[in-house]
């Protein structure tokens, strides 16, 4: 390569400026230099702008850089003071073009430099990519933006754990897309220490350390492997810190004895009940000392950890180990099973870096971009019984309300932080990528003053519980479809969207469109639209139809059928109400969505609740599937490309995307048709209408055809045994599920064969039954009412709420009710009829009710003319709206801004 003045870049790091002198900034500058070099541009780094420098200058500076301040001032911008904020701008110095990359701190400056790296890699002209036409100023919406990667299979996970080149690429991808935290989770492969097969890292300490004073060992662990494991963990921590990220280590299990586990590959020797707590204390202290890059530790403190709930003394002892390691370390407590006493013990331990509590977001799944308005009835408290009474006295009984949500931890006076954790039950394998939902998740992460969100990464739990089989972890049957950089690389677009939209929900779309243009050329807009629409399907069905909150039991991506006609056995859906049929399955948000049977009752009685019905959901699913299919059609009809950058993997990338869009769209069609079939059956049971049963059977035929289409698309590319667990509902492929669908459809056919030609069941009448499902699908809803939330409130003072109907909608509104409660999922909503007042309605939340430590949450149900009913504000046309209002306490907000 011949250097020319026009084709060279000097990257200036002012070492006198503390931010620019940070090691992570030096690493990011080297990444920019390498990226330019790969594009044929000579680049060098310098501590100042050399007098003889030719070509372009990239100036990297922090808040104390006068040159950075002057350049930003000249273009009418300023560097924000918030941690991790960044700014990019183009100006000039001494007659030479200068691109400024500035950060409020070292991490912000790393993000700024890596943004230039990303632009250079994707642009047609790498030098032009350094031009910033207008200043770019961004600040993080969420303080925590985390990815969790878990080790759950010795077959699938040992390779990446020890692969040092793999870690470099993977971690660079995370920080490029503005994640600021990486959580490596160990010991999360099992719910309880029973029927263990693959115990590798399950009780992590003895796989990593020899703890003085304790003769604890792992059976069948090869000589030297413990030392190798510790060396790899040290390396991982060093690479995480090299990029300026927070390194969190998850230690999810503290059981040392396996029950009913004759096939376990490893067991633990040398511990007793008397030495257990002391060993764990000394082990975690030693681990933190041996791996000094660890910034925080995540603990599962409920019974699935192998330690009975309410074992306060045990956990106090373990917390002492963290506190005595010699440096500040964050404590992160998984929220299930937590109570004030456990949190108090963690705070009292004084680990020096604070305590966070991490509730689940949408149970163990990915739902819509808001926090559920209400938990399921099954999550209400009950008295402890049996074995659960010993192990799970809180999370399965007295404090069930915090198993799958935030429960009662959203207090305004809390001394701990909150981090939402998004579990992987909904979608494990297929590619996900919707910019609007990603932005919605970024906004939802701030709910109630929370710090942010941590996502389980795609393919989590692959091969769990000993189900791993040799071969590629990504699940493709054809080697040509495996990403050459590893299974994670398929999901680069997912990481890009989630990380950047957690950082800034209003991010410039070019931040993801640039990679689509490089991959798919002129087909990029169609690719974006196809995947975006397809990616809303499974989160929607997760919220509307939820047979189990546990990720181990419900996998809508590869759905185990819930029959419409005959009840099914308890497993896999133990937390679905009896009789376990499609119509009784609860939504995950029962405040907004109705079950099939509830909707049938409302329809017969002509008393709509205003909740979204199964037919509303079916209509949305069909619309999303149709949009995805149409965009996919435009894409496949377009000219094939190898990508703007000449990427030889582009054809495989197109096929990966197109296959996963096809499957998700087919699943949308399946669930839409099955919801219609289930509704028709429920109405038939109440009316005996043969016509409705015929419509239901026709819809079931459509559902079966759609699922078969998903199976055919999967057969073409995926292995025939995709193992995310040993049980049949967590392995196999889509085709394996067709037999259960056929069996249920046959049962419905049997009902039709037995139904009378003109009517149905003796003693029932069809006089009040709808003639067709299409009649019920006519939307009888108005729009959201005009409402301005009153703003922060003072505890112990009444809050006045007023709404109005706009224009023509005013004549359609017959009444409005206010639903309100504290932002405490253990409570039920209070419901009051609002008084008509001029052109609107008003009500008040009493002063006595506001006298609590919680924010207030509320929404409206509206009754209109001609049987109309709806909720306000609702989800909105693109399903990204927050369907309620949240009022924070003024005192809490004032404290947060100080």
Q: Please tell me the predicted confidence (pLDDT) of residue 808.
A: 58
Output the pLDDT for position 466.
Answer: 97
Query: Tokens 């029962």 map to which residue?
Result: 590
Under DSSP, the state recorded for 834 is P
Label residues 468-477 b or e (16+ Cβ within 10 Å = b).
beeeebbbbe
CA distance 71 to 289: 44
Closest CA to 47 of 72, 17, 92, 75: 17
Kindly report, residue by residue over 455-490, the tens digit of the pLDDT: 999 999 999 999 999 888 999 999 999 998 899 999
822 vs 829: CA distance, rounded Å: 8
Which H/E stretch holds residue 9? strand 8-13
Find, among 530, 573, 829, 510, the residue nearest to 664 by Cα: 530
DSSP H helical ranges for 330-403: 340-349, 386-391
Residue 764: predicted pLDDT: 57
Residue 219 makes CB contacts below 8 A (sequence gap 6+) with 266, 267, 268, 269
**688 and 760 in contact (C-beta within 8 Å)?**
yes
- Does residue 898 carry a pLDDT above 60? no
Encode pLDDT of 191-239 as tens digits: 999 999 999 999 999 999 999 999 999 999 999 999 999 999 999 999 9
Model confidence at 1, pLDDT cuts 50, 70, 90, reads: very low
Q: Is the peptide bond before 873 cis (omega within 30 degrees of 0)?
A: yes
> Mean pLDDT in the chain?
94
Q: What is the pLDDT of residue 772?
A: 83
Residue (of 62, 136, 134, 58) closest to 93 by Cα position: 58
13's tokens: 């790091």
Look up residue 448 and give its two tokens: 């109630």
Would you state the pLDDT for residue 2?
36
Confidence of residue 783 (pLDDT cuts 50, 70, 90): confident
SS3 of residue 560 by DSSP = coil
Q: Write down the pLDDT at residue 326.
A: 98
Tokens of 269: 């020797």
Contacts for 708 with CB less than 8 Å, ≥ 6 apart: 738
Cα gap 98→78, rounded to integer Å? 16
Question: 61-112: per-residue pLDDT in tens?
Answer: 999 999 999 999 999 999 999 999 999 999 987 778 899 999 999 999 999 9
CA dihedral 500, 505, 511, 513 (to 10 degrees): 120
Tokens matching residue 603: 């329809």
- For tokens 């990011």, what's the residue? 28
Q: Are strands 246-251 and 181-186 parallel, antiparallel or unpaired?
A: parallel
- Would you give the end-to-end CA distance of the chain in angstroms? 54
What are the backbone dihedrals phi and psi of residue 863, each rounded to the nearest 5 degrees, phi first?
-110, 130
Instruction: Give residue-wise pLDDT tens across range 4-43.
Output: 335 899 999 987 789 999 999 999 999 999 999 999 999 9
Containing 185, the helix (H) or strand (E) segment is strand 181-186
Distance between CA atoms of 546 and 585, rounded to whole angstroms?
6
Beta bridge partners of 249: 184, 297
Is 134 in contact with 85 (CB distance < 8 Å)? no
Name the band, by pLDDT with cuts 50, 70 and 90, for residue 555: very high
For residue 471, the model assigns a pLDDT of 84
Could you tell me the sign of the dihedral formed by the alpha carbons of 242, 245, 249, 250, in that order?
Answer: negative
pLDDT for residue 762: 46
| Residue 344 exposed, middle or buried by CB count within 10 Å (0-12, 13-18, 19+) | middle
The confidence band for 539, taking pLDDT boundaries of 50, 70 and 90, is very high
3-state secondary structure of 864: strand
Residue carrying structure tokens 């239901």: 696
Count of beta carbons in the 10 Å neighbourhood of residue 779: 11
Residue 164 tokens read as: 């040092």
Indicate the burial class of 282 (C-beta count within 10 angstroms; 0-12, 13-18, 19 or more).
buried
Q: Report the run of H or E that residue 837 belongs to, with start and end.
A: strand 835-837
Q: For residue 591, what are the contacts with CB-CB under 8 A and spacing of at least 6?
A: 372, 373, 374, 611, 819, 829, 859
Determine the Cα–Cα distance for residues 727 and 743; give it in Å rounded to an integer: 20
pLDDT of 765 above 60: no
Q: Which pLDDT band holds residue 782 (cuts at 50, 70, 90)?
A: confident
Secondary structure percentages of the chain, helix, strand, coil, to 5: 40, 15, 45
Strands (E), 33-81: 42-46, 56-61
pLDDT for residue 761: 57
**Whether residue 767 has pLDDT greater than 90:** no
Q: Are 53 and 96 in contact (CB under 8 A)?
A: yes
Query: What is the model's pLDDT at position 54?
Result: 74
Kindly indicate the confidence band of residue 643, based on its pLDDT and cuts at 50, 70 and 90: very low
Q: If DSSP states are collapsed to H, E and C, what string results for 115-166? A: HHHHHHHHCCCCCHHHCCCCCEEECCCCCEEEEEEEECCHHHHHHHHHCHHH
Question: Which DSSP category does 523 fall into?
Answer: G
- 24 DSSP 8-state letter: H
Q: How far apart are CA 465 and CA 264, in angstroms?
A: 10
Let me know: does 487 contact 747? Beta carbons within 8 Å: no
**pLDDT tens digits for range 685-699:** 999 999 999 999 999
Adjacent-strand bridge partners of 803: 841
Helices (H) and strands (E) in the chain, counts: 24, 24
pLDDT in tens, 367-415: 999 999 999 999 988 887 766 667 999 999 989 999 999 999 999 999 9
Q: At CA 805, angle to CA 799 and CA 806, rounded to 5?
A: 125
Element (H or E) spanning 668, and its range? helix 650-687
Is the pTM of the predicted complex or chain greater than 0.85?
Answer: yes
User: Could you read off the pLDDT of 249-286 as tens digits, one per residue?
Assistant: 999 999 999 999 999 999 999 999 999 999 999 999 99
Q: Is the pLDDT of residue 342 over 90?
A: yes
pLDDT digits (tens, 9 = 90+) for 829-854: 999 999 998 889 999 999 999 999 99
Per the CB < 8 A criterion, the answer to whether 850 and 795 are in contact is yes
* More confident site: 4 or 344: 344
CA distances from 545 to 674, 692, 878 (A): 11, 22, 19
**124: number of Cβ within 10 Å:** 11
Query: Which residue, among 233, 169, 245, 179, has the nearest Cα to 201 in the 3D structure?
Result: 233
| Distance of alpha carbon 333 from alpha carbon 50, whole angstroms | 51
Query: What is the spatial distance between Cα 290 and Cα 203, in angstroms, rounded to a whole number?
Result: 18
Q: Contact 83/33 with Cβ under 8 angstroms?
A: no
Is the CB of residue 409 less than 8 Å from the CB of residue 394? no
């Amino acid at each position: 390569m011949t250097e020319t003045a026009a084709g060279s870049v000097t990257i200036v790091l002012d070492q006198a400026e503390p931010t620019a002198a940070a090691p992570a900034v030096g690493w990011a500058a080297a990444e920019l230099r390498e990226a330019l070099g790969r594009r044929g541009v000579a680049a060098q780094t310098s501590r100042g702008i050399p007098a003889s420098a030719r070509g372009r200058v990239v100036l990297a500076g922090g808040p104390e850089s006068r040159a950075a301040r002057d350049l930003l001032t000249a273009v009418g911008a300023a560097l924000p003071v918030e941690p991790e904020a960044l700014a990019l701008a183009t100006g000039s110095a001494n007659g030479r073009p200068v691109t400024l990359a500035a950060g409020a701190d070292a991490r912000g400056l790393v993000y700024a430099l890596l943004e230039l790296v990303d632009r250079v890699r994707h642009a047609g002209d790498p030098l032009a990519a350094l031009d910033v036409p207008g200043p770019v100023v961004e600040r993080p919406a969420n303080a925590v933006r985390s990815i969790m990667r878990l080790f759950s299979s010795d077959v699938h996970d040992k390779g990446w754990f020890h692969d040092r080149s793999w870690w470099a690429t993977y971690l660079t991808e995370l920080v490029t897309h503005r994640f600021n935290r990486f959580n490596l989770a160990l010991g999360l492969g099992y719910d309880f220490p029973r029927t263990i097969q693959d115990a590798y890292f399950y009780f992590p300490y003895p796989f990593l350390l020899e703890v003085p004073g304790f003769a604890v060992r792992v059976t069948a662990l090869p000589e030297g492997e413990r030392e190798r494991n510790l060396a790899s963990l040290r390396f991982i921590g060093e690479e995480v810190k090299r990029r300026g990220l927070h390194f969190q280590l998850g230690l999810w299990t503290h059981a040392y004895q396996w029950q009913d586990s004759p096939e376990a590959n490893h067991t633990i020797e040398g511990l007793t009940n008397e030495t257990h707590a002391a060993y764990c204390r000394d082990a975690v202290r030693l681990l933190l000392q041996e791996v000094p890059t660890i910034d925080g530790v995540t603990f599962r403190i409920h019974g699935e950890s192998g330690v009975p709930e309410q074992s306060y003394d045990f956990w106090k002892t373990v917390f002492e180990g963290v506190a005595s390691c010699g440096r500040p370390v964050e404590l992160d407590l998984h929220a299930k099973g937590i109570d004030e006493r456990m949190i108090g013990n963690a705070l009292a331990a004084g680990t020096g870096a604070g305590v966070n509590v991490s509730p689940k977001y949408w149970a163990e799944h990915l739902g819509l971009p808001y926090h559920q308005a209400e938990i399921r009835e099954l999550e209400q408290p009950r008295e402890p019984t049996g074995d659960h009474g010993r192990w799970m006295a809180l999370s399965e009984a007295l404090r069930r309300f915090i198993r799958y949500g935030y429960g009662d931890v959203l207090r305004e006076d809390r001394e701990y932080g909150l981090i939402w954790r998004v579990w992987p039950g909904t979608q494990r394998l297929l590619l996900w990528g919707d910019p609007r939902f990603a932005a919605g998740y970024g906004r939802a992460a701030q709910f109630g003053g929370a710090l942010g969100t941590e996502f389980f990464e795609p393919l989590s739990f692959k091969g769990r519980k000993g189900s791993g089989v040799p071969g590629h972890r990504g699940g493709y049957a054809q080697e040509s479809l495996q990403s050459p950089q590893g299974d994670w690389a398929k999901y680069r677009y997912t990481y890009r969207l989630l990380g950047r939209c957690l950082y800034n929900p209003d991010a410039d779309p070019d931040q993801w469109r640039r990679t689509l243009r490089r991959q798919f050329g002129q087909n990029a807009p169609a690719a974006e639209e196809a995947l975006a629409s397809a990616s809303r399907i499974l989160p929607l069905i997760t919220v509307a139809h939820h047979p189990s909150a546990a990720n181990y039991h419900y996998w809508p991506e590869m759905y185990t059928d819930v029959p419409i006609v005959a009840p099914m056995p308890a497993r896999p859906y133990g937390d679905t109400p009896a009789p376990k049929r499609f119509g009784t399955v609860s939504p995950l948000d029962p405040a907004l969505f109705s079950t099939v049977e509830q909707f049938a009752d409302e329809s017969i009685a002509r008393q709509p609740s205003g909740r979204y019905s199964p037919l509303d959901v079916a209509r949305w699913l069909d619309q999303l599937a149709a949009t995805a299919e149409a965009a996919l059609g435009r894409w496949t009809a377009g000219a094939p490309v190898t990508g703007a950058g000449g990427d030889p993997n582009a054809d495989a990338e197109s096929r990966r995307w197109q296959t996963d869009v096809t499957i998700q769209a087919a699943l949308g069609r399946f669930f839409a048709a099955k919801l219609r079939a289930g509704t028709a059956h429920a109405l038939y049971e109440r009316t005996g209408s043969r016509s409705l049963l015929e419509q239901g059977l026709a819809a079931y035929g459509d559902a079966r055809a759609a699922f078969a289409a998903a199976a055919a698309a999967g057969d073409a590319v995926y292995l025939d045994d995709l193992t995310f667990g040993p049980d049949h509902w967590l392995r196999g492929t889509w085709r394996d599920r067709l037999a259960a669908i056929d069996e249920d459809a046959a049962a419905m056919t049997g009902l039709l064969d037995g139904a009378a030609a003109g009517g149905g069941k003796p003693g029932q009448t069809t006089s009040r039954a709808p003639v067709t499902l299409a009649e019920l699908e006519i939307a009888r809803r108005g729009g959201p009412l005009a409402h301005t939330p009153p703003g922060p409130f003072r505890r112990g003072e009444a809050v006045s709420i007023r709404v109005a109907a706009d224009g023509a909608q005013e004549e359609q509104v017959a009444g409005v009710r206010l639903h309100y409660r504290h932002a405490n999922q253990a409570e039920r909503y209070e419901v009051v009829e609002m008084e008509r007042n001029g052109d609107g309605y008003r009500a008040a939340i009493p002063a006595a009710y506001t006298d609590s430590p919680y924010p207030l949450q509320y929404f409206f149900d509206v009754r209109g003319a001609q049987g109309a009913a709806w909720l306000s504000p609702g989800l909105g046309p693109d399903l990204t709206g927050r369907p309620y209002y949240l009022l924070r306490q003024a005192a809490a907000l004032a404290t947060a801004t100080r």
